[in-house]
Amino acid sequence: MATEAPRPELDLATLRAAVIGGDSPWRQVDVVPETGSTNADLLARAAQGADIAGAVLLAEHQTAGRGRHGRSWSAPPRSQLSCSVAVSAAGVPTEAWGWLPLLTGVAVVDALDQVCGLPAGLKWPNDVLAGDGKLAGILAEVASPGPTIVVGLGLNVTLTTEEAPDPRATSLLQLGHGDVDRTTLAAAWLAQLGARVTAWQAAGGPDAALRDDYRRYSLTLGAPVRALLPGGDEITGTATHVDELGRLGIDDGGAGATVSAGDITHLR
């Protein structure tokens, strides 16, 4: 059983120096000691009239983190990388916005490889898996007003088995990488994400490199899956592709199906 690792605070000065400037889309980085949800905080700023594009907000303790379908979760202080970013989607067709959470996952996989050499994979649409568990989750929400999308990441760093809010969860600690520094990891992820976002904005959607890397990292494509759709319908078949809109194509033995939202289960 993994033992608890030290949980130092994030180094804000180091983060700002590492990710602001040059070609980076990030223009503001803040760390708060505690909040309910970093996504909700950025969305609230936008609703109050602030221009949040380029803002990065990290929390040492997120008490009411939000997942898909309104699910909530929490973890002990400084045991996760809890971060939200605000991405300008100006000039990107709305039909390509579905690729933003997918490219966020690609950036997570690249950052994990860069920082600690940990192989990870992606479960469509927004989970990062490693070992036998879920290492990170991603949530994208459109801010109002304006074409800005808030993307949140919750990545388990030193979360122990006993602390995990979900038995399917894992952490870097549980995977033998409990010595990873959250500041170093956050800086690497924000740099990888910034480069992917800049390419997505320039291309007006997914560029060829992003599509290739997503296919390479995907644990869903080629796997037998069951999709539980909003409303309760189910589709079972083999996941075949992700289209230009970020939707998952499934060969169900008939005419085929395209899923834009739903809970995906990998079948053995």
Q: Where do the structural domains in the chain lie, given as residue ranges?
A: 12-216, 221-266
Give domain 12-216's CATH architecture: 2-Layer Sandwich (3.30)
| Average of per-residue pLDDT values in the chain | 94
The token pair at 46 is 């936008």
Using DSSP's 3-state secondary structure scheme, residue 171 falls into coil
The token pair at 217 is 């990292």
The residue type of 136 is A
Q: Are 112 and 121 in contact (CB under 8 A)?
A: no
Q: In which residue are the tokens 């053995």 written?
A: 268
The token pair at 85 is 């970013």
Using DSSP's 3-state secondary structure scheme, residue 11 falls into coil
| Confidence (pLDDT) at 60 | 97
| Confidence (pLDDT) at 167 | 84
Angle at which helix 12-19 crosses helix 182-203, to 10 degrees, equals 30
Prior bond of 165 cis (ω within 30°): no
The half-sphere exposure of 220 on its side-chain side, counting CA atoms within 13 A, is 27
How many separate helices (H) and strands (E) can be counted in the chain? 5, 14
Nearest to 264 by CA among 68, 96, 66: 68
Tens digit of pLDDT for each residue in 38-60?
999 999 999 999 999 999 999 99
| Confidence (pLDDT) at 1 | 45
Distance CA 243, CA 245 (A): 5
Domains 12-216 and 221-266 share a fold: no
For the domain spanning 221-266, the CATH number is 2.30.30.100
Q: Which helix (H) or strand (E) covers residue 140, if one does?
A: strand 133-143
The segments of the chain whose pLDDT lies below 50 read 1-2
Distance CA 94, CA 89 (A): 8
Q: How close are the terminal C-alpha atoms of the chain, in Å?
A: 27
